[in-house]
Structure 1
């Protein structure tokens, strides 16, 4: 009996990815809700203290230089656990580009163009609205990201009556969107670059690729390499999560003849549940605990940066994604997935306004602590509104498709 062709393998992996992300979106929502309730309760001091607990040691050194690995729990979640999330994102991106829906020009054109529109328009709006804010030079990137787990989770729960092309389109859009956000993080938030550590990270990545090329499968090779690459990236001045993306993109996604599944599929099967159910919810728990009261709500609608984030994320994503789709179809640069019409794309574009994970990360990287809390409140409020509005639109479109 012959093994399944790559396209079948990719479809099976896609189904498993969607199921896990649906559950992961629920876990993320629960973690964020617990953080918000705790941070606004009489016991908020305990929440703040928990995030500031430090683990690790500064005694570890290489070539006489301390590795500075004594981090707070919140930093371990941001720099450590999110690296695992970005590794899974790298695997998913590589699979989609090589054997998935983005592997052909016809399949990739619309999601790619819509993702670009959904990044450029929010960034322009945020920059325009908050142009006088001293932090806008990096904060414009906060509203550019779409949260895969939340968006796919809502689509799976609410949009089951839509054609299957809706899931493919949204996944492709979110994957390309994440790739752009990853590139922005790597460039915009690089500190003082250290060439020596970058060389160590590059050497580790090269060794990882060589192991994949030689079909070596033992974790006793790859786990130490991953740790070394992560530590080197952390020390290099480039954000540590980029280590996860780099290794994910270097993983082989096509199974060899006689091979039941590719390394990327096996790793995604093992690691994605950990990412979706532990890594992302834990990060959301530490990132979402912001004060929400009358004063904060007033500031959300008077502070230029908060307004830029909210308008950019909600209006920018909807206009950028649906506008790029309409323009691409009119100019015959791309075609909509079979069964979808312009109003379906509009409903899906609202889900693109659910920022959450990457937007919260960018807020923490771009802003000082006091302004980051207000920016994160803006992201959370906008994501909730987008979730509700998107769900209502999907229900409406689902009824239309069920009774044409």
Structure 2
């Protein structure tokens, strides 16, 4: 039921958010190849300051963060905080909360991570410079893939939506582990010890029943700075923060309903013409407001609050600064990296998800969910190749400023693989799904 509610909450914004993300990515590519490209590059390299005396919060190793670094290392931490909250929810009460529920999407996700890496390694040798991007085609973009699936409306069986969401969440876990293990530099343990101490403090404060989200976020900013200086990629701080945010509300829903009924029954009467509340009436309404805040857990409340900012501000900004593929200039646009990424997303994801699902079902390890069949699984397996956000993120970590030509190739491969996978997945599902699904 939790994942069902999540899907319904997301579906209304998935299409609009996906369209905005797509438009922003296209705009970035157009601008990067236009006469205003120098201004675009200057914007990306612009240094940022948030000073308190001589201390600059937006700095790393004594160097001020540039705009692109602030978005990728700072704002994207909020995105990974949201991802962490969703993962925690699914592990606690969702489709990853038991072996029976998690088995099929977990197996499918493993195939969707392993096969793209193997295909990438086959095209771009791990020993070459391009070999650093092995993990780029591993991830599935939940928002984008669900956005495409939402275009088909009620024709899509609920089990198919759950399957896509669940294996994409497992993909996110894999991507986070890869970022933490393989994209960290020399570790400064003193900063990590301070961050760990702050996590422990937040954990015990949450255990005491605190629901103050602002407090958790302010301490989260301090932890983010510690990670930024530590050598462990700063976005990991957001994921860990999610796991110390309380998932249990202070007030049980049954007691909440009783309290609201009692408040309503004792609410002071007011005349029909009165437009100004009395102090007693205001006090009663504040009781309702306080109880409402306590019946929703900080985890669910924060997750709901962050969706709008992430989908309509942070991800479009990320796309704008990272999707600017340059089609002319020095270096080849189509090379081993672009081919490896596109093939990994388009072919590797499809074969991995479909084949691992087939083995799991045919071996009897897990049953085929009601409403799913091999035809619609093939369409969802193609949608698994929509890797946009996390794939671009890992591409920047892989090549960054050290290999600009390979980074440009990786971006082109991500855009091509994502676009083709999305179109093919939509076409296949349009053909195989029933004309109407009540």
Superposition TM-score, scaled by structure 2 size: 0.84
Q: Say whether the 8 Å CA contact 1:138–1:366 is kept in structure 2.
A: yes
What is residue 3 of structure 1 aligned with on the other side?
Answer: none
Is 1:376 matched up with 2:438? no
How many Å apart are 1:104 and its aligned residue? Answer: 2.1
Measure, in 1, the Cα distance between the counterparts of 2:168 and 2:215.
Answer: 31
What is residue 4 of structure 1 aligned with on the other side?
Answer: none
Deviations 1:157-202 (A, max 9, x none): 1353021111100000110001100100000011000110111111
How many Å apart are 1:21 and its aligned residue? Answer: 3.3
Is 1:245 matched up with 2:239? yes
Measure, in 1, the Cα distance between the counterparts of 2:371 and 2:197.
Answer: 47
What is residue 349 of structure 1 aligned with on the other side?
Answer: 381
How many Å apart are 1:149 and its aligned residue? Answer: 1.1
How many Å apart are 1:217 and its aligned residue? Answer: 1.8
What is residue 20 of structure 2 aligned with on the other side?
Answer: 27
What is residue 364 of structure 2 aligned with on the other side?
Answer: 332
- When structure 1 is superposed on structure 2, of 356-365 and 14-23 the one drifting more is 14-23
Is 1:359 matched up with 2:354? no
Is 1:105 matched up with 2:99? yes
How many Å apart are 1:307 and its aligned residue? Answer: 1.7
Query: In the TM superposition, what are the counterparts of 1:5-404 in structure 2 within 5 Å?
Result: 7=1, 11-56=4-49, 59-60=54-55, 68=62, 70-131=64-125, 134-158=128-152, 160-256=154-250, 257-258=252-253, 259-292=294-327, 299-300=333-334, 303-367=335-399, 368-399=403-434
Q: Say whether the 8 Å CA contact 1:20–1:272 is kept in structure 2.
A: no
SS at 2:211 equivalent: coil
Q: Say whether the 8 Å CA contact 1:32–1:285 is kept in structure 2.
A: yes
Q: Structure 1's 44 and 66: CA in aligned 2 closer, same or farther, altered over 3 A? A: closer
Q: Say whether the 8 Å CA contact 2:3–2:162 is kept in structure 1.
A: no
Q: Say whether the 8 Å CA contact 1:83–1:241 is kept in structure 2.
A: yes
Q: Structure 1's 135 and 124: CA in aligned 2 closer, same or farther, altered over 3 A? A: same
Measure, in 2, the Cα distance between the counterparts of 1:211 and 1:370.
Answer: 48
How many Å apart are 1:137 and its aligned residue? Answer: 4.5
How many Å apart are 1:51 and its aligned residue? Answer: 0.9
Q: Say whether the 8 Å CA contact 2:82–2:303 is kept in structure 1.
A: yes
SS at 1:371 equivalent: helix
Deviations 1:319-352 (A, max 9, x none): 0000010000011112232111011111001011
Measure, in 1, the Cα distance between the counterparts of 2:181 and 2:41.
Answer: 30
SS at 1:338 equivalent: coil
Q: Structure 1's 216 and 195: CA in aligned 2 closer, same or farther, altered over 3 A? A: same
SS at 2:154 equivalent: coil
Aligned length, in residue pairs: 391
Deviations 1:337-394 (A, max 9, x none): 2111011111001011011111111111111222111111111111111111111111
Q: Structure 1's 66 and 271: CA in aligned 2 closer, same or farther, altered over 3 A? A: closer
Q: Say whether the 8 Å CA contact 2:111–2:355 is kept in structure 1.
A: yes
Give the unaligned 5+ runs of structure 1: 1-6
How many Å apart are 1:14 and its aligned residue? Answer: 3.9
SS at 1:310 equivalent: helix
SS at 1:253 equivalent: coil
How many Å apart are 1:132 and its aligned residue? Answer: 6.1
How many Å apart are 1:101 and its aligned residue? Answer: 1.4
SS at 1:375 equivalent: helix
Q: Structure 1's 401 and 20: CA in aligned 2 closer, same or farther, altered over 3 A? A: closer
Q: Say whether the 8 Å CA contact 2:126–2:134 is kept in structure 1.
A: no
Measure, in 1, the Cα distance between the counterparts of 2:192 and 2:311.
Answer: 29
Q: Say whether the 8 Å CA contact 1:317–1:352 is kept in structure 2.
A: yes
Superposition TM-score, scaled by structure 1 size: 0.91
Measure, in 2, the Cα distance between the counterparts of 1:132 and 1:224.
Answer: 41
